[in-house]
Amino acid sequence: MPPPAAKKRAASLSPFLQVLSTRYHHPDYLGSDPLVEVRRFKSPVDREIAALFAALLAYGNVKQINASLRKLYDAMRGHPAPFVAGFDPARDPAALKGFKHRFTDSEDIACLCHLLAQALAKCATLENFFLQGYDPAEPDLVGAATRFMENLCSLEFAPRFSRDRMLRKTSFKHLMPRADKGSACKRVHLFLRWMIRPDDGIDLGLWHAIPASKLIMPVDTHILRIGRNLGILRRKTGSLAAAREITAMLALCDSADPVRFDFPLCRLGILQKCPTTSNLAACDVCELNSVCEKRRKLATTRNRLDAKSLMRRKSAK
């Protein structure tokens, strides 16, 4: 049972979040998101595979991410699903040669393609493969997300790749995060949001067996900062605990679909509608100003300083 203060805060924020969602949860803003590249594919099977790579590579700035995705999809001959499903570890790594996104290299991508090819041969779709580790009795998808990665990494690495070496390789481990280690695992939960939420022009709605109420908020630096500004997140680091905390608060506004606020809240950060460098002048013209805890504190501090200054002037007369 959420505490009364949390319920009160959620009730005060709910109208603001609804307006924000109407304004920013719109295809006009897809250009600032990796989904713009995924939505170029018309086939659901291409979208499913493209979305996984887009989510796992969603670190760095959006311009860099989208440029890397275009290069990757071109290397996959413009159709990620058949490229991955038919991936030959002796033949196809050459097509990926030279690919690099920050510290993810072509070997990491090729190894993942090899694992995904086996998953698709076994289950036909990533949804079916994910459902092998899904337990409807669990309150969220943290356990299922962890088992998804574990099940992928339990597949055969040989003959081209060494299991021991790849699972020790820092860049490959980063590409395949586990959600049970205390990390927010933003990129995995981002992928699940895209798959499970309905196709509304933003999210893709490709998976239908899991309710949106099970989703966890993908917590990145934007959500961490804005969540704290709005008073719906107290933790200072992007941990699993922070992801669960903000999800629980947003569930008080929409219990069936709490993460539907992720895309619009992220736009405030990515587009600098909520400025990273906070000062009262910037905060006064920010869209959050009426509900922002940080602005309230800045205003309180200014009023206190103004009162002290007034007292000093009166004393000096």
Decide if 63 is inside a domain.
yes
Omega within 30 of 0 (cis) for the link into 139:
no
Query: Rounded to whole angstroms, how far apart are CA atoms 300 and 14?
Result: 24
In Å, what is the CA distance from 155 to each residue of 77, 110, 118, 125, 150?
A: 25, 14, 7, 16, 9
Query: Rounded to whole angstroms, how far apart are CA atoms 28 and 201?
Result: 10
Residues 6+ apart with CB under 8 A from 88: none
Decide if 310 is inside a domain.
no
Secondary structure E strands in the chain: 100-101, 104-105
Report the candidate in 156, 313, 177, 315 with the shortest Cα–Cα distance to residue 239: 177
Report the candidate in 133, 134, 92, 142 with the shortest Cα–Cα distance to residue 112: 92
Decide if 305 is inside a domain.
no
Categorize the per-residue pLDDT at 46 as very low, low, confident or very high, splitting at 50, 70 and 90.
Answer: very high
Which amino acid, residue 90?
A
Which amino acid, residue 39?
R
Decide if 249 is inside a domain.
yes
pLDDT digit string (tens) for 175-232?
Answer: 998 876 788 899 999 999 999 999 999 999 999 999 999 999 999 999 999 999 998 9
pLDDT digit string (tens) for 91-150?
Answer: 999 999 999 999 999 999 999 999 999 999 999 999 999 999 999 999 999 999 999 999
Decide if 235 is inside a domain.
yes
Per-residue pLDDT at 311 exceeds 70: no
pTM of the predicted protein model: 0.92
Split into its structural domains, the chain has a count of: 1
Q: Which residue's entry shows tokens 């860049």?
A: 171
Decide if 287 is inside a domain.
no
Decide if 111 is inside a domain.
yes
Q: Report the pLDDT value the prediction gives residue 183, as an integer from 0 to 100.
A: 85
Q: Which residue's entry shows tokens 């949860």?
A: 25
Q: Domain limits at 261?
A: 4-278
Decide if 298 is inside a domain.
no
